[in-house]
Amino acid sequence: MDLSFFKETLFEIGLILVVGYLFGNIANYFKLPRVSGYIVAGILMSPYVFNIIDKQFLDKSDIITHASLSIITFLIGASLSWKNIKSLGKSISFITLGEAELAYLFVSIAMFLYFFFTQHLDIKVLFALSLLFGALASPTDPTATLEVIHEYKAKGVLTTTVLGVAALDDATGIMNFVLGFAIAKSVMSGQNLEILNIFFKILYQIGGAVLLGIVMGFLMHYLGKFAKERKEVVTVTVGILFLTFSIAHAVNVDELLSTMTTGITLVNIDKENEKFKGPLENYIEDVIFTAFFVVGSAFLNIKLIFVFLPLVLVYILSRFIGKFTGVYIGAHLSQAPEKVKKYLAFALFPQGGIVIGLALLSYQTPEFKDFGLILVNMVIGATAIHEFLGPVFSKLALEKAGEIEEV
C-alpha cells in the first residue's frame, strides 16, 4: 500500500496548523482578530500563490470543512439558551426577516441594472441571473463572527442578537435560495413554476433539519449522563455532531441547521450543558478554527477579484446596504437597542463557503450553463473580500458596542 500521499497529507495538515498559528499571532500583533491571520495564511499557501497547499489536498479536504462546520454551528446553537434570548426574540425575528429579504431585493435590483447597462443579455437571462445573485446574498457566514466573539470574550445584547440572527439566517437563506433558484430555472427552461413543489422542498429541507437536530440533541443529552470525565464528554459530543452532519447530508436536509439545532436543543434541555460546550471551547475550538479558515481560504483565487472587480464591488456594496437597511428597519420596528441598529449589520458582513457551494450548484445546472461560470467566479472573488474584511468588521462592531472584554 502506498503511504506517500497520507504522509504528505499529514505534513500539509501540520503545516496548516503551525503556519495558521503563527499568522494568527501576527494578526494579534497588529490588533486584528486571529482569524484574519488564518485567512491570509490560507491565501498565501493556496495553489494560486505559493502552492504550499496543493489542489490534490484541497480536493480531499471536505472532511476538514465538514467536521469543522459541525462543531462550529453546534457552538452557535449552544449559545442560544431561551433564558438569554427570550427578551430579544421579537427583535431577532424582525431583524432577520429585514436583513435577509432586503439583501435579496437590493442585490437582485443592483445586478439587473449592472448587467442591463454593461452587457447585451437576453431579458430571460438577465432576469434569471439577477434572481440567482439575489438568492446568494441572503446567507451570512457566522463562523468568523463566532471566532471573534470567543477570542475577545464578547458579551452583551449585540453579541446575543448576532448569534440569534445567525441561527435564523441560515433557514431564511435556504428559503430564499430555493425560491430564487426555482424561479430562475423555470424562466430559463420555459416551464411553469410549480409553487407547491417549491413549498414542500423548503419545508422538507428546513423542517427535516430541525427535527433531526432535536432528536440528536436529546440523544446527546441522554448519552452524556453516562459520561463521567471530560474526555468522555468530548467523544460523545463530537461523535453525535459528525453523525448529525452526515445523516443530514444523506437525507438531503440542511447540515448546518441540523447541527445548530442540536446545540439549541441541548442548551435548553440540559442544565449541565456547559460540560458539552466547555471542553470544545477550551481544547478543540482553536484547532478547528485554524484548520477551517486556512483550508477554506486556500480555495480562493485572489486573481479573480481583479478580473471581476466591478461586478464583485456591486454585489458586496448592494448586499451590505440591503443588510444594513434591513437591520435598521427591523431593529426600529422591534424597538431594539440603538447599538443593535448601528452595528449589527457589520457583524453580518462575512459570507463564506456555503455560498460557493450554492453557486457551484447553479453552475452545474444545465439551464444556467451560459452564465454559471460568471456566477461562480464572482462569488469566489466576493468571498475573498468578505472572508478577509468580515472578522475586522465584526471586531469593530463589538468594540463600538462596548461588548469586548479584551482588546
Q: Based on the number of CB atoms within 10 Å of its own CB, is 212 exposed (0-12), middle (13-18) or buried (19 or more)?
A: buried
Residue 275: pLDDT band with limits 50, 70, 90: confident
- How many domains does the chain contain in total? 2
pLDDT at 3: 46
Mean pLDDT of the chain: 85
**Is it the case that residue 361 has pLDDT exceeding 80?**
no
Would you say residue 407 lies in a domain?
no
Listed residues 19, 41, 58: the one ending a domain: 58
Cβ pair 154, 404 in contact under 8 A:
yes
pLDDT at 352: 66
Q: The CATH number of the domain where 355 resides is what?
A: 1.20.1530.20
pLDDT higher at 297 or 339: 339
pLDDT at 364: 67
Ranges 61-70, 194-203, 225-234, 369-378: which has the least confidence: 369-378
- Is 278 in the same domain as 141? yes
Dihedral of alpha carbons 242, 173, 168, 352, sign: positive
pLDDT higher at 128 or 1: 128
- Is 136 in the same domain as 203? yes
pLDDT at 193: 65
**Mean pLDDT across the stretch 34-54?**
88
Give the contacts of 338 (CB within 8 A, at least 6 positions apart): none
**Rounded to an integer, what distance in angstroms lies between the CA atom of residue 317 and that of residue 113?**
14
Q: CA nearest 257: which of 200, 204, 211, 210?
A: 210
**Is it the case that residue 9 has pLDDT exceeding 90?**
no
Would you say residue 6 lies in a domain?
no
The residue range of the domain holding 19 is: 11-58
Other residues' Cβ atoms within 10 Å of the Cβ of residue 247:
15
**Rounded to an integer, what distance in angstroms lies between the CA atom of residue 229 and that of residue 142?**
30
- Is 126 in the same domain as 253? yes
Q: Which amino acid is at 157?
A: V
Residue 48: pLDDT band with limits 50, 70, 90: confident
Helix and strand counts by DSSP (H, E) for the chain = 19, 0
**Is it the case that residue 407 has pLDDT exceeding 60?**
no
Would you say residue 220 lies in a domain?
yes
C-alpha cell at 343: 452595528
**Rounded to an integer, what distance in angstroms lies between the CA atom of residue 247 and that of residue 258?**
9
Give the contacts of 202 (CB within 8 A, at least 6 positions apart): 174, 175, 178, 179
Would you say residue 4 lies in a domain?
no
- Is 145 in the same domain as 31? no
**Over the Cα atoms of the chain, what is R_g?**
21
**Rounded to an integer, what distance in angstroms lies between the CA atom of residue 332 and that of residue 342?**
11
- Is 33 in the same domain as 122? no
pLDDT in tens, 245-264: 999 999 988 888 899 899 99
Residue 95: pLDDT band with limits 50, 70, 90: very high
Residue 109: pLDDT band with limits 50, 70, 90: very high
pLDDT at 353: 58
**Is it the case that residue 74 has pLDDT exceeding 80?**
yes
Would you say residue 286 lies in a domain?
yes
- Is 135 in the same domain as 54? no
Would you say residue 103 lies in a domain?
yes
**Rounded to an integer, what distance in angstroms lies between the CA atom of residue 375 and that of residue 357?**
11
pLDDT at 1: 45
- Is 49 in the same domain as 70? no
Cβ pair 388, 321 in contact under 8 A:
no
Cell 471551547 -> residue: 281
Would you say residue 139 lies in a domain?
yes
- Is 369 in the same domain as 263? yes
Would you say residue 1 lies in a domain?
no
Q: Give percent above pLDDT 70 in the chain.
A: 93
